[in-house]
A and B are shown apart, each in its own frame.
Chain A
Amino acid sequence: MSKKEDFVKFDKVDKSYDGKVLVVKDLNLDIEEGEFVTMLGPSGSGKTTCLMMLAGFETPTNGEIYLDKNPISNIPPHKRGIGMVFQNYALFPHMTVYENLAFPLRVRKISKDDIVKKVEKALSMVSLSGFGNRMPGQLSGGQQQRVAVARALVFDPAVVLMDEPLGALDKNLRESMQYEIKHIHESIGVTVVYVTHDQGEALTMSNRIAVFNDGKVQQLSSPDKLYEEPVNSFVAEFIGENNTFAGEISDISNGSCKVKLDKGEIIANPISVKSVGEKTTVSIRPERALINPKDKMDNNQKGKIEEVIYHGDHTRVRLNLLGNSEFILKVPNSSQNLDIKLGNEINIGWNSHDARALDPK
């Protein structure tokens, strides 16, 4: 069976709660069957609203959402067949784990034998076999989370929505749960729409990430592309660490451009600039700038070290470079003993391809 390309489709969706402010603006999003798509964005960016519209708890003010080509705006939540994992798990506290998992099956009037089988299978999938008789209150946060995931999957929904499901867990548990959810997704091939504000989580788990800001999808692409090739300065800023220079285009030709800064000039890769005189923000990832580069690079600058912070596997160096005193470098600790000392002047080089000239902030 070939995968359906636009299994979930947001078509020109607007959403406003008060008739004054649009929380979601002209949202267009296609999600392929079996895909793991993450909606990533700061709080208030409209990502949870999108999820709630898909689940049926909010109705779009304008536009339509399609599930497998069928418009679903007028279908109540309980008829959509979409599983959902909530932020605070939303396990029913008065039911045992077994009853929690059997709940979606019972309301679907599935036979008792099948319920037992399906619940067993779902519990073993999240490695909680034998926990059926516990009450949710007797489980740890991670276990509750797994029950919630199993409950959202037990009735074989076409789509599973997850609304910051790992937000309440501590860091180590969160990381192991990320892998676990990823593996579950890979093994059963369900379509997952995941909402988070944690970019690490998004990068680890997703096939594609939709970065939300201000009610709009800023960029929708795979994690590596999102990190390596952000299309605007919000995405560049929001995902990973980022060094920026604000300037003005002084020359543009043959896929590269010159950007005039307050002090000096750099060569950059024009992404969202087209003509001379435009304002721009140039973004460079910290690991793309090298100290004393051996190879020839088309940007070479001198910078003064202002701060050195030891991080175990790497050292963070803060430089004053071209008038930007927040220029960060990440130096692997295995590399040759460079002369990294406070106050030293060092040579910094990077390729113009890695310096992306984006929209001004």
Chain B
Amino acid sequence: MSSEQKILSTDGIPLEESLKQAEKKNKIKAFLLVTPLLLFLIITYIIPIADMFSRSIDDKMVTNMLPKTYKAMEQWDGKELPSEEVFKAFYLDYKILVENKTAGKLQTQLNYEKNGFKSVLKKLARKQKKFEEGNYKEQIMKVHKRWRNVDYWRAIKRRAPSYTYSKYLKGVDMYSNEEGKIVQVAENRRIHRILWSRTLEVAFFVTLFCFLMAYPIAHLLATLPMKYSNLLMICVLLPFWTSLLVRTASWMILLQQQGLVNDFFVWIGLVTNDNRPEMMYNKTGTYVAMTQILLPFMVLPLYSVMKTISPSLMRAGKSLGATPGVAFFKIYFPLTIPGIGAGCLLVFILAIGYYITPALVGGASGTLISNQIAYHMKSTLDWSFASAMGLMLLTGVLVIYWIYNKLVGVDNIKLG
């Protein structure tokens, strides 16, 4: 549009500008209203995730502990034993660490890289006090024969970069070996992959069970007369108002071998007294407790969608000649898909990161990846590994969300 044709307001200001002026105040107001939430999200969500990410790839510790060594190693091609220069630099770096009593960290870190490194380093720490000046290569190699093995020097060199993706590899039971190739860990040590697949499996089945149980409940809620549906709604929401720990603990009471459920089974003669099935501290317990706890998250989205489906649609279907079954699958069910999508996505995502319940009732065969993360956070203190696994979990959730968006469309989700 040429400038002559610009529409002017009554006062002669271009219309667009005067509109902007008029809307400016509202925009500022709107922004100010969301600012607290925005700040809250940045502080409690964005920053921690960024911190987690930087932790998970951070590998500066070793780099900072051996500055001279890595400087000297820049020239080394890694094929044969490094030169005297490198040995000297390593001796000087390590001496400082031993004096500062921080050598332990280095020993641990290098032991991750190459098994047996710790004892070699400890011996070196004892012996190097008596080292004479000059010809450090000979003196170090004399301390332990492993210093003559080029693999140990390569292990040091591998820790040179200040960033690493090794934690992520570890999360899927892989590592980069001495030659720098990415390989799988020994079969009997592939624990994470079992946990990942178990997590997915539990999340999938919990979602499925929730769906199967929630669909009829939600349908009842949406169709019953008000006075009954209110009561039912309270029954659905009641678990929400009870502490998660209390609910999990009551499942422990119910499911244990001397628990109420088993007592009942024995009483009706389903099992004999000395042959009570184990329903807790395994996957069964995780399934049962998690399904119960996550059920409302499936019921509520389904209910809110079903509430909007006019009962006359089913009637119309029947009057047009469809049997109740056909009418259900051709008319009612397709209309509830937005609710199914929302409920399944919600339950699956919650289940995939569930922690307390599997920790309490899961036992060894029922723990999930989140329990492993917690273990590394609290017990091994390998925070960078915990961060890496947390981010992998987050990525997994985002991937699921993306797939869902491609298949169903996120704008189809209805939560209320």
Contact = CB atoms under 8 A, between A and B. Distances in A.
B310 A78 contact: no
B117 to A, nearest CB: 64
Interface in B324-351: 324, 326-327, 330-331, 334-335
B322 A84 contact: no
B319 A84 contact: yes
Contacts of B319: 55-56, 77-78, 80, 82-84, 152, 161
Interface string B309-323: 010110111111111
Contact of A77 (B310, B318, B326, B331): B318
A83 B321 CA distance: 9
Contact of B315 (A86, A94, A108, A155): A86
Contacts of A107: 320-323, 326
B318 A90 contact: no
Given A86-B316, A90-B310, A155 B331 contact: no
A71 interface: no
B344 to A, nearest CB: 19
B335 A93 contact: yes
Contacts of A94: 334-335
A39 to B, nearest CB: 17
A135 to B, nearest CB: 13
Interface residues of B, number: 19
Closest 4 CB pairs of A and B: A104-B320, A90-B316, A84-B319, A90-B312
Given A92-B331, A103-B330, A78 B321 contact: yes
Given A92-B331, A94-B334, A103 B320 contact: yes
A44 interface: no
B319 to A, nearest CB: 4
Interface in A7-61: 55-57
Given A93-B335, A94-B334, A78 B316 contact: no
8 contacts: A55-B315, A84-B319, A90-B315, A92-B317, A92-B331, A93-B335, A94-B335, A155-B320
Given A84-B316, A86-B316, A90-B312, A78 B334 contact: no
A91 B335 CA distance: 12
A286 interface: no
Interface residues of A, number: 28
B68 to A, nearest CB: 71
Contacts of B317: 92, 103
Nearest to B309: A93
A29 B316 CA distance: 25
B-side interface mostly: helix
Q: Identify which of A79, A81, A86, A155 gathers the most chain B CB atoms within 10 Å of its CB.
A: A86
Nearest to B319: A84
A143 interface: no
A327 to B, nearest CB: 44
A82 B327 CA distance: 16
A151 B320 contact: yes
A81 to B, nearest CB: 7
Nearest to B331: A92
A103 B331 CA distance: 10
Contacts of A79: 321
A82 B316 CA distance: 11
A221 interface: no
Contacts of B315: 55, 57, 77, 84, 86, 90
A79 B316 CA distance: 13
A150 to B, nearest CB: 12
A200 interface: no
A81 B321 contact: yes
Given A92-B331, A93-B335, A76 B318 contact: yes
A88 interface: yes
Nearest to A93: B335
B388 to A, nearest CB: 43
A104 B310 CA distance: 19
A90 B321 contact: no
Contacts of B326: 107
